[in-house]
Amino acid sequence: MLDALLSGDYPRSRALSALLLLIFVSLAFAPFLFPGTVAYQTYSKICVFIVLVASYDILLGYTSIVSFAHTMFFGIGAYAVAIALRDVGTGWDAVLLGTGVGLVISLLAGLAMGLLSLRVRAIFFALVTLAVASGFLILTFKLYTFTGGDDGIRFSVPRELRPSFKLLESDLTGFDVIGFLTTGSLQDALFKVSVNGRVVMYYLLFVICTLLFLLMLRVMNSPFGRVCQAIRENEFRAEAIGYRTVYFRTVNVCLAACIASLAGSLMALATRYAHPETFLSFGVMVNILLMTVIGGMGTLYGAVVGASLFLLAETYLQNGLGWVHARVEGIPLLADVLTPERWLMWLGILFVLSIYFFPKGIVGQLRVWAQARRARRSAGGDGETAAAPTLGRR
Amino acid sequence: MTTEALERTKTFKPAEWIDAQPHYFLLLLMGALGFLAMIFYSWAHLAELGAEPTVLGALGKAASSWLTMTVAGLAMGLLIFIMASGMTLVFGLMHVLNLGHGAFITLGAFVGASALAALSGLTQADSLLVNLLAIALVMVAAMLVAGAGGLVFERLIVRPVYHDPLKQILVTVGGSIVILQLIIVFWGPNEIPVSRPGSLLGSFTFGDVVIEKYRLLAVVVGLAIYAGMQALINRTRIGLLIRAGVENTEMVENLGYRIRLLFVAVFVAGSALAAVGGVMWALYDQMIHSHLGDLRMVQVIIVIIIGGLGSITGCFYGSLLVGLLFNYLSLVTPMVAEFASIGLMFAVLMWRPQGLIPVIRV
């Protein structure tokens, strides 16, 4: 059962398994564990970004394609849904239409990009996608009659997803974990959860994101995924063995584009607002890059860990920095560097350091440690052979 | 010269010439298309004014607006070239794709703004020479700061990841985030206005042709940098080593030259050039903010791709092409002007995947 679900790609590290389980359980029961609007926005964003980052990892980590146009697909999905719900109506048909149109456009754009990699390679490709993505961003700003430009698009979602919709008449009881851990009072930690459209939206999001993630695990552990990894390791050799690398690259780009587009549609539905800054800006692209690398390139679980940690840091690290800032107030330069607004700088430093010292990211490093532990345990001289069976898989 | 080569010089074959000199061909084509667009534009403009458009009148008006736009476009192109030259130089020699280049453009702009404010005595003087001296001093200041920054950046960020293009891209993006945040720490997150010295405001007019004074300065600085780079690379011993290093790094090392030192020097020079570009852009836009470099990077990248990664000549002509295209189109159809350069980039890539003047085979 688990083997089929995870496609045989286990975390292969106890600490990692525990971490993944913790993230999964927290997300699965999130509305009942974390009260408040900020928490709601954070955990739905985490779900979407896990899928988005995983789809980027398919390109960057598994196939070594550096693309800066991933937010473009994310934005296409979001804007397609937003425009459909604004202009067609607020029913489910409009949602499906928007998602479908977004998928088709992303597929075509991905196809064009994949074919472009026929003409230009590696570094050129990265630069070209950077230019294309910024062109798309400018286009979104300029076509304001269609895309809302700088104002973005606010739209209504189907009735079942609105906060006013009640799925169950009576409220359920939730348990505030953070509150319990900080106050220690069992009575105060209980809170009421009204099962309204927001909760329905979240579970829709959660289920689709889980399915998409499992799908990506399946694809990347299939023969197709193996060829992609072969292209990453040595493209020339993969071609020499007889794989048409352009075909594999193009399919890969299209797959990533479609999943990113779906993630965009979901995100737009959850926030009921599409804006270039949240979907298309270069800042979002850099965030995806940071999450992929910090989590661990070439391991889809890295996307889970990276996206969760990054987004938690984005929301809560600032509070921590605020606390530190209050301690160092008087000291001129240090106080400026440690304000909550400068959290991105610390993340940038962390990012650079992690590329140098943990190039495999958190997940890769946990696996290395776990492997070393296994090797030590079965030691007695033949640690090499004990480690050998796992060496082939990364 | 072989007889075959002599033969070739005698009979002029357009296809061969286009293939050998794609940059001249595109530049001529761009100018011609621009002139054509100007004719249509003037015709429509004259008709709009109510006057009966005559062929001669439209031609005359087209000629003057074409000249105005061409000079402005070349100046714009040279502004882009100043910003892009450092990046292409670094890539050409070191094969390091420095996506943090934009951060150095921003750094230059901010240091330049502070230096200009400090030199207000010189910038407010009513003399062109004194004003130019002020700008030169500002540039030197920006180059020094950005050069020092480049030295640190090369040591901390780039050196550990030579020969690993993927990590270079990631690490330089990370490094640029840190630099930008540090810039915000020092200068604050708000936009800062930059006042151009009085003698560089306004424009010259010759009949109907209008030329902004500042654009002339951009042309002079841009051409000086281009000529300087060409001279340095083609005429000096250091240039010889750089060219040899591009061709075969190991061989130069084996001959006993410390090519590392050369790499560092080139990286510092690249950062300093970015700073000059930042100062020039700050004076042109008269407003700076922390996103300035990232926004300029798009054009820089387009220009570098069109020219061919690592090629200085290619970067120069690519910049001119993009500048001209932008200016012609912003007069005729402003909507399209912003992405036209991306279209041009695609067209060039479809025709020549390595850019106009390829240096390397990626």
H or E element in which residue B209 lies: strand B209-212
Query: What secondary structure, in 3-state letters, does B186-201 show?
Result: HHCCCCEECCCCHHHC
- List the pLDDT tens digit at each of the 362 positions of chain B: 456 665 555 677 788 888 888 888 888 898 888 888 888 888 887 777 776 667 777 788 888 888 888 999 999 999 999 999 999 988 887 888 899 999 999 999 999 999 999 988 887 777 888 889 999 999 999 999 999 999 999 999 888 888 888 888 889 999 999 999 999 988 988 899 988 888 888 888 887 788 888 999 999 999 999 999 999 988 999 888 888 887 788 888 899 988 888 889 999 999 999 999 999 999 998 899 988 888 899 899 999 989 988 888 999 999 999 999 998 988 877 778 778 888 898 888 888 888 888 875 43
Coil, helix or strand at residue B319: helix
Question: In terms of DSSP H, where are the helices of chain B?
Answer: 3-10, 14-20, 22-48, 55-94, 101-118, 120-123, 128-153, 165-187, 213-235, 237-247, 249-254, 259-285, 292-307, 312-332, 334-351
**The tokens 């105005």 sit on which residue?**
B68
CA-based nearest distance A194→chain B, Å: 41
- Asked if A133 and A71 count as a contact pair (C-beta separation under 8 A), the reply is yes
Q: Which residues of A touch B339 (CB under 8 A)?
A: 135, 138-139
Q: Which residues of B touch A128 (CB under 8 A)?
A: 305, 345, 349
Mutation for testing the A interface, residue in B94, B159, B297, B339 having most A CBs under 10 Å:
B339
CA angle A232, A234, A237 (to 5 degrees): 135
CA angle A235, A112, B305 (to 5 degrees): 70
Identify the pLDDT of residue A394: 42
Coil, helix or strand at residue B203: strand
Maximum CA extent, chain A: 72
Identify the pLDDT of residue B102: 94
Residue ranges per domain, chain B?
A: 64-351
Say if the Cβ atoms of B301 and A131 lie within 8 Å.
Answer: yes
Identify the pLDDT of residue A83: 94
Identify the pLDDT of residue A338: 76
CA-based nearest distance A313→chain B, Å: 17
B64-351 in CATH: which number? 1.10.3470
CA-based nearest distance B335→chain A, Å: 8
Task: Report the alpha-carbon distance of residue B183 to residue B181 in Å, rounded.
Answer: 5
String of DSSP letters for B238-265: HHHHHHHHHH-HHHHHHTT--HHHHHHH
Q: Which residues of B touch A336 (CB under 8 A)?
A: 185
pLDDT along chain A (394 residues), means of 10: 82 90 93 87 94 95 90 96 91 93 95 78 82 88 86 89 83 80 77 86 95 95 94 91 91 95 95 91 89 90 93 80 77 74 83 86 90 85 47 43
Whether CATH 1.25.40 fits A2-391? no
Mutation for testing the B interface, residue in A127, A286, A287, A357 having most B CBs under 10 Å:
A127
User: CA of A354: which chain B residue's CA is closest?
Assistant: B171
| Residues B127, B130, B132, B138, Cα dihedral to 10° | -140
Identify the pLDDT of residue B303: 93
Coil, helix or strand at residue A154: strand
User: CA of B95: which chain A residue's CA is closest?
Assistant: A123
- Asked if B106 and B180 count as a contact pair (C-beta separation under 8 A), the reply is yes
User: CA of A293: which chain B residue's CA is closest?
Assistant: B170
Task: Report the alpha-carbon distance of residue B332 to residue A239 in Å, rounded.
Answer: 48
Identify the pLDDT of residue B357: 85
Q: Could you give phi then psi for residue A12, rounded to 5 degrees? A: 60, 35
CA-based nearest distance B303→chain A, Å: 10
Q: Which regions of chain A does DSSP assign to beta strands (E)? A: 153-154, 172-175, 190-193, 273-274
**B56 close to A (CB below 8 A):** no
Interface TM-score (ipTM) > 0.85: no
Residue ranges per domain, chain A?
A: 2-391
Say if the Cβ atoms of B165 and A352 lie within 8 Å.
Answer: no
Identify the pLDDT of residue B349: 85
Selecting from B184, B302, B335 the residue whose C-beta is nearest the C-beta of A142 gives B335
Q: Which amino acid is it at B77?
A: G
CA-based nearest distance A203→chain B, Å: 34
Selecting from B160, B173, B353 the residue whose C-beta is nearest the C-beta of A286 gives B173
Q: Which two tokens stand for residue A260?
A: 């990113």
Q: Which amino acid is it at A243?
A: Y
**The tokens 């910090």 sit on which residue?**
A294
> Which residues touch A50 (CB under 8 Å, ≥6 apart)?
A209, A213, A303, A304, A307, A308
H or E element in which residue A367 lies: helix A361-377
- Asked if B115 and B142 count as a contact pair (C-beta separation under 8 A), the reply is yes
**B360 close to A (CB below 8 A):** no
Closest CA to B100 of A375, A390, A184, A351: A351
Distances (CA, A) of B13 to A200, B18, B19, B31, B352: 71, 9, 10, 21, 20
Say if the Cβ atoms of B305 and A116 lie within 8 Å.
Answer: no
Identify the pLDDT of residue B5: 60
Selecting from A64, A121, A135 the residue whose C-beta is nearest the C-beta of B339 gives A135
